[in-house]
Amino acid sequence: MKTISSADMRELDRRTIEEFNVPGDVLMERAGQGVAEITLDILNARMGDTVLLIAGTGNNGGDVFAAASFLAEVELDVVVWICGSKRKIKGDAEYHLKKMIRRGIHPVEVEQDRDLVLERTPAVIVDGLLGTGAKGAPRGFMSEVIDFINEEAHRSFVLSIDIPSGVDADSGIAEGAAVRANLTATMCLPKTGLIRPEAIPYVGNIEVIDIGIPAILKEQVAACPDAELIDRANLLIPFRGNETHKGDHGHVLLIGGSIGFTGAIAMAARAALRSGAGLVSVLTPEEVYPIVAQAAGPEIMVHPVPNIGKLDVDFSKHWKKVNAVCAGPGLGQHPELIEQLLKSCPVPLVLDADALCVSPEQIAAATCPVVLTPHPGEFERLFGKPITDRWAQTRAAAGLTGQTVALKGAGTVVAHPDYKMGVNMSGNPGMATAGSGDVLAGILSALLGRDMEPFEAAITAVHLHGLAGDIAAEDMTQEAMIATDIIRALPDAFRMLQFS
């Protein structure tokens, strides 16, 4: 999904109002309704009934008032704070303020630190303090309100409207205090700043609210030239026909495992099977074969290999049988083995973890499409530079190798060698756990084995991985979830993708 600048969004609003005769208060009402619906979903998940909505005196405050009017129709404890004087509120925001008051919700004006007092801890805090037009560091009392929201965040779910207050909607930079949201509900299209690496600590997940901007106008907006948001509505899973058999859904070969690291290859194999691969085979050193075979499960075909790092492996007998290969999970570093794969593999190849031990030039000379999945430390080892600019360096790595590169981490960046790039915002901090990357490698391998193009497979895999992580966190909490919980959540993640 393309992103949009704050100036272009204002122009879309203006043209919708002037050329399509949609009143501004109607657009604001639709925004408020979307925020209210998301708030209700969060309350249902958290079994809560208390909402604190914090409004500024601009149009973002109007979205708050419109949302509160919808929430007034439900039996909830709804509290609205206005940071500043009601007298400053004008136009469409004033219209929705008066409408909210008629619905029985009377806002509290908070203008100094001693006003920031709660009778009950809210299940949800809605941040409508500053909008997309705000620039620079929040000053004075606004900064204190943001600090208050962040202090409450360990007890309450924080939902920001359009952009977390304090974050620049175009650059993603927070020059001072900024709200750390769990979720940002943005109108019409994501604002470019939301997916910038600088904004990652503040944005949380992203949900787009359709406020009725005509499609013809959205199509005329130039996309951000740097990157697009990976959006599940635009991702496609390969079709499974009624007449198909297991051979039609790809045979994936995974190479990995070593003493002390048997779980990595087992989890990658199980993730591949859970991601639709028809057949999954594993090559693993003979000294760990019994452990890997047991851990992988009865559906996985595990083959022992003697001297895996000494080139005693005849890969040629496997090439006619498989549709994708993944090397690296738990393997240990064997550069000569990986070089052999790059020179002989005829099918798409995923290089993960320990397999990222060759040079960019060797990868560029590969006989097959390759997808690289480094975390920042592996990226530095492979390309010789620490990460200082995730977007620029991932794109440069894809160009240097001529291959697809997925730089893992919060806001995983996937770059195509021809400049195209996607940013993933699904997932959560609980996924920073042992084995999570191995699960991603398995998902990606399965999608490649089902004839997806490398870039499309990579953006789909990272988004599915994040969705499964979000589902696992809801069930197990971010603190307690582990990598196998992500595998168990994959069926629900696929369901979300297929029916979005």
Which pair of structure tokens corresponds to residue 91? 């136009």
Residue in 360, 354, 367 with CA at minimum distance from that of residue 438: 354
CATH architecture of 234-498: 3-Layer(aba) Sandwich (3.40)
pTM over 0.85: yes
- At 383 the pLDDT is 97
- The set of residues, in sequence order, having a beta carbon less than 8 Å from that of 44 and lying 6+ positions away, is none
- At 384 the pLDDT is 96
- CA-to-CA distance for 433 and 483, rounded, in angstroms? 7
Residue in 403, 347, 338 with CA at minimum distance from that of residue 373: 403
Angstrom distances, CA of residue 29 to CA of 59, 95, 266, 345, 380:
11, 10, 51, 56, 48
pLDDT digits (tens, 9 = 90+) for 351-394: 999 999 999 999 999 999 999 999 999 999 999 999 999 999 99
Locate the domains of the chain by residue range: 6-225, 234-498
Residue in 474, 392, 482, 460 with CA at minimum distance from that of residue 231: 460
- CA-to-CA distance for 189 and 423, rounded, in angstroms? 14
pLDDT digits (tens, 9 = 90+) for 237-269: 887 777 777 777 899 999 999 999 999 999 999
Q: Are 6-225 and 234-498 in the same CATH fold?
A: no
Burial group, residue 204, by CB count within 10 angstroms (0-12, 13-18, 19+)? buried
Cα end-to-end distance, the chain, whole Å: 14
Question: ∠278-279-283 over CA atoms, to 5°?
Answer: 155
- CA-to-CA distance for 232 and 244, rounded, in angstroms? 25
DSSP letter at 222?
A: P
Cross-sheet strand order for the sheet of 324-327: 228-229, 421-423, 413-415, 404-407, 370-373, 349-352, 324-327, 251-255, 279-285, 301-305
Q: Give every residue of the chain whose pLDDT is below 50, as ranges.
A: none
- CA-to-CA distance for 282 and 266, rounded, in angstroms? 8
- CA-to-CA distance for 18 and 50, rounded, in angstroms? 38
Select 6-225's CATH number: 3.40.50.10260, 3.40.50.300, 3.30.360.10, 3.40.50.2300: 3.40.50.10260
